[in-house]
Amino acid sequence: MAIYRGRIENETRFDIIPGILNHNLRMHDFPAGRMKRVHPYAWLWEPLENDPAFLLRPMFGGRAAYVAGRLTLYFIAKSKIIWEAQSEVADWRGICVCTGREHHASLMNEFPELAPHPVLAKWLYLPESHNHFEPVAVRLVELVRRRDPRIGVLPQAKRGKKAAPASRRGR
């Protein structure tokens, strides 16, 4: 039995599974190993997983979706993140649309639910608390799947480690 977006895929009758109702389960009745926690927004990036150019990476406590080398969407399920640069606590729960400022007006006209993030204003933000979160999020993922040029930024190249000062070399 699998629960997918609140629906039960195949109905299993628990009254016919021995031990479920009278709680006679033992540890060896469960699969071995650790259970993997599923990200609450995993269902959103599933349509992108078949794309060979898709990459999902952890980033600052969330998941960053890259398509064709471009950072497109940032999914964050934590309710609070301390943003050290501004010493604030911000609610990040939702989706950030990684885009350039030149595309903000166009995307906000198409998706009035989007707004610049209160901390990271270079990206647009769809809060999970919005009434139309799911349909808008699905439409945004579809735009990413179709490679809409307004969505996606090239990540900055990683800087190499600084060389040790000359006075410390060769000691």
Q: Each residue's pLDDT tens digit in the chain (171 positions)?
A: 444 444 444 444 444 445 445 555 555 555 666 666 667 777 778 888 888 998 889 888 888 999 999 999 998 887 655 445 554 555 678 999 999 999 999 999 999 999 998 788 889 999 888 899 999 999 999 999 999 999 999 987 776 666 555 555 555
- Report the pLDDT value the prediction gives residue 65, as an integer from 0 to 100: 92
Domain 39-145, CATH: 3.30.1460
Burial (CB < 10 A; 0-12, 13-18, 19+), residue 54, is middle
Q: How far apart are CA 114 and CA 105, in angstroms?
A: 10
- Report the pLDDT value the prediction gives residue 48, as an integer from 0 to 100: 86
Q: How far apart are CA 101 and CA 122, in angstroms?
A: 6
- Report the pLDDT value the prediction gives residue 62, as an integer from 0 to 100: 86
Kindly list the distances between the CA atom of residue 15 and the CA atoms of 20, 25, 26, 27, 57, in Å, as whole numbers in the listed order. Answer: 7, 14, 18, 20, 41
Q: Rounded to 10 degrees, what is the CA torsion of 126, 131, 134, 135?
A: -100
Q: How far apart are CA 75 and CA 97, in angstroms?
A: 9
